[in-house]
Structure 1
Amino acid sequence: MDDLQQQLTQPSPESRQEQTGKLTSRLAIVLIGGLVGTILIFLTIKGIALFTNDHVSIWHFLFQTDWQPSHHHFGALPMIVTSFCVTLLAGVVSLPLALVVAIAITEILSSKVKAFLQPLIELLVGIPSVVYGYLGLTIIIPALQRLFGGTGFGILAATCVLFLMILPTMTAMTIDSLRAVPQKYRQASAGLGATRWQTISRVIIPSAKGGILTAAVFGMARAFGEALAVQMVIGNTTVMPTGLVDSAATLTSVLTTGIGNTIMGTAENNALWSLALVLLGMSLVFNLLIHLISKKGAA
């Protein structure tokens, strides 16, 4: 009797597995949170060293245009402006085309065409950025030279490369958002006598608006943080941009070209870490926007 009572009161194998799973999940959460916190603390400490150790004005760093670290001039405004320019231009050009392609795949094209296009888009998402940069060097730069003259390097070339990079990502996310719209919405719209285009424009797109905006912000976040492909085609000139075909530099291109040529602890190196801190701040802003848009769409 005592043995039977002991067996009944002991935890079952399923209960032990559940406890083990919960413990493993909590340890993973603590580990990931610790890694993220460590990265944030490390970048913050390194990023503010330019202002605390080298006594550079934050105002000068953010709003001045003279970037000459060897002469202790650390105006990062040209790179910040250029980063926003190429990101916004790429996003504005990519979103309409991504929406058109997504609508065609989800609402118009036949199943055979969908079965061909869907894997192709997913394949383009995984192509390394250096491949897009090489395409920019071999195709886009010569084309811009023929059209506008000059070297071809500049904001327009970087925008074209980023457009090619983020378009598959935005298209794939937009397709998922459109497919998430309940089928009963389409049926109800058809039952009321709406045409296909009226259903798409007045029912499906408004219902998927949150997901579409999330795709746009996610694509621009990727464009803002892209380094190698942009570095290959933008010209890497740290001056305030005056035109789309003029050479310029982004935060990421300056970081990738300069971080290996500076000595740790010097003002030049600290300035690059400050640029990295600006990048981190903008990444957090993009993530916050995605969270807010997703939350609003769910509501």
Structure 2
Amino acid sequence: MAQTTLKTSDKRITGKHHFAEEWVGRIYTTLCVLFLVTTIVAMVYFVASRGLTTFFKDHVNPLELLTGLKWSPEGEPPMFGALPFIFGSFSTSMLAALIAAPLSFCAAVFMIEIMPKFGRKYLQPVIELLAGIPSVVYGFIGLSVIVPFFRDVFPGQGVGIAAGALVLSIMILPTMTTVATDALAALPSGLKEGSYALGATRWQTIYRVVLPTTLPSLMTGVVLGIARAFGEALAVQMVIGNAPFIPKSLFESAQTLTSAITLSMGNTVTGSAHNNALWSLALILMLMTFVFVFIVRWLEGRSKL
């Protein structure tokens, strides 16, 4: 009887202990979520309030900012045309994705479908190692290797859209390859076995079954790579030339939104029209990030259908 009472008492103590642990975990998780949400809302509010000051306080036309071709905030009269920066960001990001996407798809197919043991053991660690290299190293290598090569082979000084896109393509390759590898690895084996049973070869199975089925997930990796390239500043700044004009070729100097902000933010006075215009560029970057996130979520929903 005493032993039964003791066991019952132990169970009650254990139950109370588990109940306390559960509530501690819930409170801690809730606080973490609230902190994250508060941080995100505060950042969005801060950037938006500063970025919109250009339109409400300095009376800059939003259409002029988005479509204007001349950037001269300190001039008389001041000009706030950010289209060259927007064009530079989109052109380098899209071109980098066009270069990196085929390489990432081929690497993923090699690691999953052709030589999984060799690919997973040697190729995947090498590709993932690229993600840990600082961006300044990429920029320095691009400035020392890619720019002189373009200068010797193509007309111009070597800096420009092409150099920036090539550097960015190497930087976003690990992200796109990792997403593509995970998508191919998660494909049900029954689809491939059914294709083989119908007499299809390995290559026919890859480009008629594997790639079409995983296309939404592969495009998710591409969009994530574009978002990564769109927000890069230092590496692109070192090789793109930083000229606030729309280039006529891939080998002419240009400038991106991120490089325009980093080059000028430290030389402006807080509250000035120039400083507010730079915050407007940051607002454009933030809005484009949200667009990329929504596209990724939409593609993820398509992949689950």
Q: Any runs of at least 4 consecutive aligned residues in structure 1 with deviations exceeding 3 A, and if so which?
A: 3-11
Aligned length: 298
- Aligned-residue RMSD, C-alpha: 1.7
Q: Note if 1:56 corresponds to 2:60.
A: yes
> 2:105 touches 2:180 (CA, 8 Å); kept in 1?
yes
Q: Note if 1:146 corresponds to 2:148.
A: no
Give the counterpart letter for 2:129 in structure 1.
L
Q: Note if 1:282 corresponds to 2:279.
A: no
Distance 1:196 1:153, change over 3 A: same
Give the counterpart letter for 2:262 in structure 1.
T
Q: Deviations over 1:236-293 (max 9, x none)?
A: 0001221111111000010110111111110010110000000000000001100110
Q: CA deviation at 1:298?
A: 1.1
Q: TM-score, normalised by structure 2?
A: 0.93
Aligned partner of 2:22 in structure 1 is 18
Q: TM-score, normalised by structure 1?
A: 0.95
Aligned partner of 2:227 in structure 1 is 221
Give the counterpart letter for 1:280 in structure 2.
M
Q: Note if 1:295 corresponds to 2:301.
A: yes
Q: Deviations over 1:162-207 (max 9, x none)?
A: 1111112211211111111012222222222221111111221122
Aligned partner of 2:101 in structure 1 is 95
> Within 5 Å, which residues of 2 pair with 1:2-17?
11-17=15-21
- Distance in 1 separating the partners of 2:295 and 2:247: 27
Q: Deviations over 1:31-63 (max 9, x none)?
A: 000000000000000001111111111111111
Q: CA deviation at 1:114?
A: 3.1
Give the counterpart letter for 1:104 in structure 2.
F
Give the counterpart letter for 1:243 in structure 2.
S
- Distance in 1 separating the partners of 2:281 and 2:11: 62
Aligned partner of 1:168 in structure 2 is 174
- Distance in 2 separating the partners of 1:44 and 1:119: 40
Secondary structure of 1:150 counterpart: coil
Aligned partner of 1:44 in structure 2 is 48
Gaps of 5+ in 2: none
Give the counterpart letter for 1:30 in structure 2.
L
Gaps of 5+ in 1: none
> 2:110 touches 2:116 (CA, 8 Å); kept in 1?
no
- Distance in 2 separating the partners of 1:66 and 1:110: 52
- Distance in 2 separating the partners of 1:114 and 1:25: 35
> Within 5 Å, which residues of 2 pair with 1:114-193?
114-193=120-199
The partner residue of 1:211 within 204, 210, 217 is: 217
State, as a whole percentage, how many aligned pairs show the same letter. Answer: 42
